Structure 1
Amino acid sequence: NPAVNITSGNIGFSIAFGGDSEFGHRSIDGNNLALKLACNDSNAFYITVNSDMDGASTTLMHFRRKGYRGIYAELSTWLKSKSVEYDKDILLQRLLNENMFFNYFFAVGKDMESDRYAALTSRSPRYYVSGAFWERDSFLWSFPAIKLVDSEFYSSLCRDMILMHAKNAGDHAHYIDGTVLYPGFELDEAASYFILLGSMEDIDDDILRALEAVFKRIEREYDCDTGLYRTFLMPSDDPSEYPFLTIDNVILWSGLKNLMRLYQRMGLAEKAQLIGSRIEGIYNGIYNNLVKNIDGTGIFVWSCDGIGGFSLYNDPPGNLGLLHYYGFIDCQEELFRNTIEYYYSNKYKYYCESSKINELACDHHPNTPSGLGLCGSILNPVLQDRAIGWLKAANMDFGLLCESFDRETGEAKTGVGFATGSGYLAFALYHVLIQARK
């Protein structure tokens, strides 16, 4: 069977190729194989990868021993056992499961050298920033969907990724080993550690130290005059006009409640008291600085500088419709409904009333609705029914979530192969269709 070593820089691995039955082949220009099969013959071919040629070849032997029928039956049985059932709407059931499994298989990979798992945006080369790590994307979007498939794997992954990435908490993007790829502080990314904490059961000393290091980094952005915390970049990874963002501070407010409860369980009263004061300060700071009267109606604005300046914006990865999801305000309150009504109206520059799909666009892609914004709208009870209708009208990336899509056809425009985004969609659907109705 053909096998080849592949090297590039400091990376080396091997690939082997074979089939269930005999076949002929010849090399074409050293990079391609021409296969020779007997007329009307059939075969199943395997491609295996390992650290060296011996490992690739023995893995190929293992695959041939199992046979494609056995491999297919094993995978099919596993997928059926892990699928989420929602027989009220077969299309939504398919979208939930396909996005859930794409996230499960493509937002996590195993390092061939260390044999350890690593989380990443996507293993798909179709995604334009594949192979790197964003805390927000993994902790807030991908991991909740992984938990739907395998809760034990989820628990181990949470622990390993917190320990790997906490040393650079909040930096825009990391390499998959936790070192900084793209600097720039993002408050929502740093706060995502504490959101993750809320679903973790076993907190050991290593995790506690890591979380305390994250909080120490966040404290550098504390503003005693407003009670709020600063960010440099928005959830879209673009620079923010003003430093205090509503959604970022809400995510931190929600996450710090998890940290406070942990300290209370551990009997660390002084630390719990400090966190409690920060929680109260954020809450008051948001209402004092980030609620403005616009056209005679009070709404949440996107950001402010704490001295009067503010911006009217709604960044899809941090959709303001998530204020209810994070428990900051009830969806029935007038202030929340006014906020949603403002941004999803012709008063807002990135809303298009005449389009078939009315999800918001943004600075990042001003002419196309956002897939991430759509997930936020699904989690928003005020827009939930409309958002699910938009989802069913948008094929996006052949049913998988994409960054943005055409507002009329629903066809993907940017960000295909977006594995962590698919996790966000899968979890959002599960949350509103199944979890919230139990």
Structure 2
Amino acid sequence: MSSLYMKQLTAYILLFTILLFTACQENFEHKTVVCIPVYGQSLALGEEAERMTDFDSLAAYANGRIVTENLDHKFGYFDNDPKKQWFKKTIGYQKRAYELSLYKMAEVLADQFGEDTLVCIFPGGQGATAIANLSKGTQPYQRFIENVQTAYETAQERGWDFVVPAICWMQGESDIVDYPSTNYHDMLTQIWKDMNDDILQITHQKDSIPFICYQANSLGRAVDFKPEAYECRETEVPQTFVNLLQNNPRFWASGPTYPYSCVNEKIHIDAKGQQSMGMLAAQTALGIMKGSERFRGLIPVKTSFEDNNVTIELNVPTPPLTLDTTQVRKVNLYGFSVINQKNQDIAQNIILEGNTIKIHCSESPAGCHVRYAVNGDYMKSGNQHGPRGNLRDAKGNWCYQFDMPLE
């Protein structure tokens, strides 16, 4: 065999190898990755919510523009142990493949974005866990930050932009039912600061990262809960969300959980409820990214009283106010109560007037607590027998549960 032939053969082999190598490389066109994960306890992980979303369909949705923390399409099993999670995702293990609010949120967002934008979603946290055990320094917290870093580094390797415009917060049930001796307001604001600082160090983005907040409504699952008790420790957590939505620009609203069915009327909203929460989160996320006015949800902004009457002024996103007894089973006075220091409900009737609720009482409400959705059957949750109210706006934003003193 001539040396010329050998040189030509070697050149052809080299050329073929180069072409084959090039063909096997992924051609990453420039993209922007919008990452909006969820963090919290069991509702963040979708526990007990029988999955409605088909993973193959989700992977194909919007030309594959919905991805996980690995910027791939292996949706499903979650675990704080990364090796266990990798293995069970790889084999398609279905036992912990629940319906997440993030699936519907991602679909709604993907419909709004162009072909150059990916939506990165993943859950973090741990079920049946109080906020103190989800804060900085805990395993769930560290794992969550590592997942953000994985997504960021993968995007960087591909030459893509990466931003975390918001985080969905879904936690609070354990801090309602287990009576931990902590200040939920202080701990939630601290975990926001820690998470914001840690993620900004990774992404180097300029804008801070707000929390999109649902509201835990599991009062009825607390063993000592009494709706007409003047001192009601169980309302600290849901009221914290109201206070932050009133006053803290880093917290945006999605909505409360009471308008939805719960699995066995216990603590976890079902798959349809998870999808509804995802749609609300998507609408809020879009507002954040567009630089819109902060969405605070349907919440009270001022309470006052005169003679025997209470007036509650509300932030109403889409007027008019509506009393809906179809989606949520009717409850006494549509969920409103006025509790005096004798542990008595003195509310007699309510009237809707514009963006206000007027409550007529049997006596002066001075020094009382005015409440909404602080009721329900013992050990029940959800829209049929749990703590609930019937007040929403024209767009389906339901009023947040609240407990406020009249001073």
Q: TM-score range by the shorter chain?
A: under 0.3
TM-score by length of 2: 0.26
Greater strand share, structure number: 2
Name which structure has the greater RCO, CA cutoff 8 Å, separation 6+: 2
